[in-house]
Structure 1
């Protein structure tokens, strides 16, 4: 047993632990010492100029290090990553260290100017940009090659030498956030700014969108209740509800764009300049030169990637879609059997049997969605996309196509082929309720229970260590390193996307869909808050100006909703009764209405600006000031060169 990070360490080695690095048990001492030196070296020598020291190493031979940084180093890092902060005059500007006194909340030493999440983001940025120079391979591992300019941390992780890098929780701040967020059951908005301050923009935007979507569903729910109870069998009365549905699905997305731009401007991420995107950690290929940066990095033929996509990925997705359709037909066979059994028995038990096929199908859908997502991740990784954004776009496309077919194909078949609105209502209700229960259990309750059991064992293990160290920090690190890693907001947005689809596509047939969606979102807020605070490791903060590709997904679903609702309107007896003599006129009329509504949808999207006028003015003013500053610098440079030439002429 070895003693490290003692309470008696010299004061110059003390710093706030921000990030934890865990090496594999087989990691060689030579490798660890080399990396520690690289992290502590000055920037001019190719290092990160951060602070790092090892933690207690237990009998399990765990190699754990904690990383931090001096206040000045982190402030200079804030300037390097382009963090945007509020100035004294109320404007938002990129942080410049030399102008630090111009910013709001600046104190004399600047220790509290940056949040813990921002400091951790800066450290992650510096560690990710720790690059190989003259090294040909990782010290101690001759087979693990290094190329000039290649990220050292990414190479260590892909080689299995480093297990994980994660940011630590701030226990006091997290305790206050939990108390405001979910420990008090109350009718109030979520503390979005506090969530963003602690977890960063990406999660702040997700919880803001979750709250906004819930509020936007309330009008649909309030209108849906009387329609459901006073038009139980008269589906023709849903014409008005379907029309409202079309307007609702368009307006809420446009309003969200404006609200999100206001939030992200206040957070500083709306005007934060994007760094040049580096290759993904899993990207591989022959060593070459990037034509943009001039750095050495792996090069992979885009033609080979396209072959993999169109010859392997596309056929794979098609086969999965066929499988989903085949499972759907089995479900209809079960429905037919249950209906025949009920007609024969006419008992309470047989009436309950009518819901069994839908419940089984809902469970199968959830299982297939999760299995397919794992396969889609492996396949998208095999396609070898260079950029993380490209990888995410292809993954989202694959998953959305399958989920739309898997979750909605049976509903479309019931509505437009079988024309059985009663079965459509029953299937939609069963899918909604079953999927919500499964998601809440699998995503939050089960992981929380498992984590509670694990934490009790870890606390006993830490207390058994006979070492001179800070037990509070030691226990915290051991607890958090064994927590699950939060893999991002993908699954969370996907769940909201499917709910949006159920409501916007078929709520005119089953108006209570909005009610179930509201109830789901209310429980989702608390379960997601629980899992972020108690189940998962703290994720690194990530600047985000919007919800990204998911906005396009929601807008696409809105277009599909227009087509679906227009078709349902055309099938109603109210509309079809007008065109009893000519089905052709009915089809043409419905198509004309559909095109008119789509045109209205695009006009609304064009007329309603994505950013409020005052935010756009502030952005334009900042751009103007940046151009003026650039011109001034160029003029000063030219004047300096002119004076130098004059001095040279006089001396000659």
Structure 2
């Protein structure tokens, strides 16, 4: 159903059904005749059937389990398997060579809607000199018309009783969007048929990604359970908790003057959590392999959905681009004069302004990270003094579990999440404004430009705090005599003896969980409330049943960038799952649970809460694919660095396999006994500077030495407080670990990329067969007809 200007109706050559609801609202239902459909099917290079597929399909390897797997597929009585055809770009003059059983069914509803919208978006309605005004989009933006949308075929929860009326929306709701069908596979062919290839490929990718998450979640959950079951058996965790070992180790204060000395066993519970953390990069490598298989699956969909050569066709310019073409130039390829919206210099200025704006906002994010870091330092000082002196009475029952590091981490993570969401809302509008200002020529160029801007910003916004905790916090702190200060005022914060992994886990949990909850509120609650209010305000008491076009008008329009935000949400989640999985093995589990809801929530809202969208062609997931590949490759490096520099895995391995004697006693060969003692250096409290020396407490205990996390020579040594040999052994082992792991993973990726082709062999065969038939049926037949005509003459 489209609301149209009279000149647009002339361009469409359509049959219209006009209904006047009241003086202010009028509906126009548009129908495209056969001749118009044939004309624009050729203009848009739509591929249509020429012959049934005569190549035998290979049997599925899962056919032996059909008695089990059939319960996980949609009802075959409602969704029948469609026949397979070889297709070719439609040509109006060779209509007799196409496989036409019924003219009314030859062009699918999604094809009809796409052709109608193509005409409407380019039909001029006003020309003044060189300035042209055209397209339904311009009229909608100007408020001339309220809406333009294709009609749903029926109500989503009631089957149509009319014989000639399809019930595809009802079937999609029952077998896909309804909560009771959460365990069923998605009917991708019906989704593509009803909503178009662009939405179909999104749900195909989301379903594939969720399957991969299921496998990763099993591994991650297994690592977590193993760590939980064995945390009591960890030797170095036992030493931290042992009153005779950790209870007698006095740690140096972690801030100046007002912080107190503390016992190592106060971090007992945290050390148990960290002791058996899943230090591995296997899951990040797993997702690299998964992306290779996605390419193969995507190639199959490209062939089945007739989008193999879609990008090879010249994409038409956006109406917004064409409307501002006022400068004349000579096309360097065709040599024909054409109009463009700006000169070369003007384009450079626009791009420069866009780049400058993006950089400014990225710097703004970094400034917020610095501000949160300053907050961490200040609040850590408060929690350290108050928790150590039991001044916060409300936390007294949890004193065994709440450490200054944990309290600081939780509050800082919550503030970081709020800042992230606020900056997202602001930057979203800025990114759209910049992209509109740059005026890309085609819709693909527009979406790719916006995708790059939004992802760069989101990458820095969501991950910068995690990168800070993983790779910066606790790395440059000096030692008690000469601590490092931020901005010359705030003493740089340290990790506790177990490392910063628990803080990184806390940060990831809060951001991932908060983001998932917020997105679901936006996607489910807001459209439902809007529709409820709109129906209440526009209801007509005298009418019991309103027409289909009026029911659809009461639904929400799907935002122009609705699918863009769905991809962005999943790509950001993919980054959390892959980039930091070594520190948080439960990340795939949380992502899996979220995605199982996400698929059905997206299906529910697009089927029940939004008007039917104009179907669009899409060959793949666009610019998101190289972004996903880049994240997966980067994840190998980040996880290797987390294991090397953030966790205690490498120092523990060096200690375990070492046979030398260390400064604090003999090392028992090939055991972890004594590791805690060897990983903590000794500091003489008389060496504190006047500024950082802790204030004397009322305790009569005189503390002459304290311990700190580092590998330095003890007081009294000729090279006191300098790095010892163990430190350099550990650094060398860390660097070697990163280099070896990265090279092994990247080599395996290269080998698998070569062994696993992007396009399956069976698909290549069908593509070749289709091209051959296209040449024989459409072109050679035409040549024979031409030869016969010449012989007759």
d(CA) in 2 for partners of 1:407, 1:384: 28
1:448 Cα deviation (Å)?
1.3
* Aligned residue number for residue 552 of structure 1: 626
SS of the residue 1:489 aligns to: helix
Q: Tell me the number of residue pairs that the alignment of Structure 1 and Structure 2 aligns.
A: 588
Q: Match of 1:300, SS?
A: coil
Is 1:56 aligned with 2:20?
Answer: yes
Q: Is 1:180 the counterpart of 2:175 in the alignment? A: yes
Provide closer, same or farther for how the CA distance between residues 373 and 362 of structure 1 changes in structure 2, counting only shifts above 3 A: same
CA distance, structure 2, for counterparts of residue 190 and residue 398 of structure 1: 32
Pick one of 326, 339, 346 that aligns with 1:286: 326
SS state at 1:391 partner? helix
Structure 1 residues 437 and 315, CA gap change in structure 2 (3 angstroms): same
Alignment match of 2:362 (pick from 305, 317, 321): 321
Give the SS at the match of 1:533.
helix
Q: Is structure 2 residue 114 aligned with structure 1 residue 121?
A: yes
* 1:128 Cα deviation from its structure 2 partner: 3.4
Structure 1 position 93 matched with structure 2 position 87: yes
In 2, Cα distance between the equivalents of 1:592 and 1:306?
44
1:479 has 2:554 as partner: yes
Tell me the SS of whatever aligns to 2:16: strand
1:608 match? 756
CA–CA separation in structure 1 for the residues paired with 2:173 and 2:315: 34
Q: C-alpha offsets along residues 18-42 of structure 1, whole Å, 9 cap, x if unaligned?
A: x3125xxxxxxxxx333333332xx
Alpha-carbon deviation of 1:157?
5.0
Q: Which moved more, 1:506-515 or 1:355-364?
A: 355-364
The CA deviation at 1:506 is: 0.8
Relative to structure 2, which stretch is displaced further, 272-281 or 211-220? 272-281
SS of the residue corresponding to residue 277 of structure 1 reads coil
More helix by percentage? 1
Aligned to 2:31: 68
- State the 1:236 CA deviation: 7.3
1:305 maps to which residue? 347
- Paired with 2:515 and 2:749, the residues of 1 have a C-alpha distance of 30
CA spacing shift, 1:457–1:507, aligned 2, 3 Å: same
Match of 2:587 in 1: 513
TM-score between the two structures when normalised by the length of structure 1: 0.81
- Single out whichever of 389-398 and 326-335 deviates more from structure 2: 326-335
> Which of 373, 382, 390 lines up with 2:445 in the alignment?
390
In structure 2, do the counterparts of structure 1 residues 289 and 593 end up closer, same or farther at CA, with 3 Å as the change threshold? Answer: same
Indicate if the aligned counterparts of 1:288 and 1:296 stay in contact, CA closer than 8 A: yes
Question: Deviations 1:502-530 (Å, cap 9, x if unpaired)?
Answer: 11011111111111101111111122112
The farther-off stretch of 601-610 and 215-224 is: 601-610
Q: Give the stretch that moved more between structures: 346-355 or 495-504.
A: 346-355
CA contact (8 A) 1:448 1:535 kept: yes
| Other-structure match for 1:25 | none
Distance 2:535 2:770 in 1: 49
Distance 2:777 2:95 in 1: 17
Change over 3 Å in CA distance of 1:183–1:234 after alignment to 2: closer
Change over 3 Å in CA distance of 1:641–1:475 after alignment to 2: closer
The alpha carbon displacement at 1:362 in A equals 1.4
> Which is greater in Rg?
2
1:220/1:115 CA distance change after superposition, 3 Å: same
Q: Distance in 1 between matches of 2:337 and 2:169?
A: 41
CA positional deviation for 1:397: 1.0
Q: Where does structure 1 lack aligned partners over 5 or more consecutive residues?
A: 1-18, 23-31, 41-49, 465-469, 648-652
Superposed, which structure 2 residues align to 1:488-527 within 5 Å? 488-527=562-601
Match of 1:259 among 297, 302, 305: 297
Partners of 2:529 and 2:767 in 1: how far apart?
Answer: 47
1:418-437 alignment runs, 5 A limit: 418=473, 420-437=500-517
CA 1:360–1:273 in 2, change beyond 3 Å: closer, same or farther?
closer
Separation in 1 of the partners of 2:26 and 2:442? 31
Q: Distance in 1 between matches of 2:122 and 2:769?
A: 32
Contact 1:235/1:509, CA 8 A, preserved across alignment = no
Provide the rounded CA distance (Å) in 2 between the counterparts of 1:36 and 1:234: 69
My pick for the range that moved more, 595-604 or 376-385, is: 595-604
- Measure, in 2, the Cα distance between the counterparts of 1:138 and 1:120: 24
Matches within 5 A, 1:15-414: 19-21=1-3, 32-40=5-13, 50-56=14-20, 58-60=22-24, 62-71=25-34, 73-75=36-38, 77-86=40-49, 87-89=51-53, 90-94=84-88, 95=90, 106-107=100-101, 109-130=102-123, 138=126, 145-146=131-132, 152-153=135-136, 156=139, 161-171=144-154, 172-186=167-181, 187-231=183-227, 233=272, 242-272=280-310, 275-283=313-321, 284-288=324-328, 291=331, 294=336, 296-310=338-352, 312-336=353-377, 339-343=380-384, 344=386, 345=392, 346-347=395-396, 355-414=410-469
TM-score (ref. length: structure 2): 0.68
Contact 1:115/1:197 (<8 A) preserved: yes
1:483·1:536 contact (CA, 8 Å) conserved in 2? yes
Cα separation, 1, equivalents of 2:275 and 2:130 = 69
Q: For the structure 1 residues 144 and 488, does the alpha-carbon distance in structure 2 shift closer, same or farther, using more than 3 Å as the test?
A: farther
Query: Which of 597, 602, 614 matches 1:540?
Result: 614
- Please tell me the root mean square deviation across aligned C-alpha atoms, in Å: 3.3
| 1:439 alignment partner in structure 2 | 519
Specify whether residues 144 and 527 from structure 1 end up closer, same or farther in structure 2 by C-alpha distance, changes over 3 A only: farther
Cα distance in 1 between the residues matched to 2:28 and 2:6: 11
Shift of 1:623: 3.1
Aligned equivalents of 2:504 and 2:640: distance in 1?
A: 17
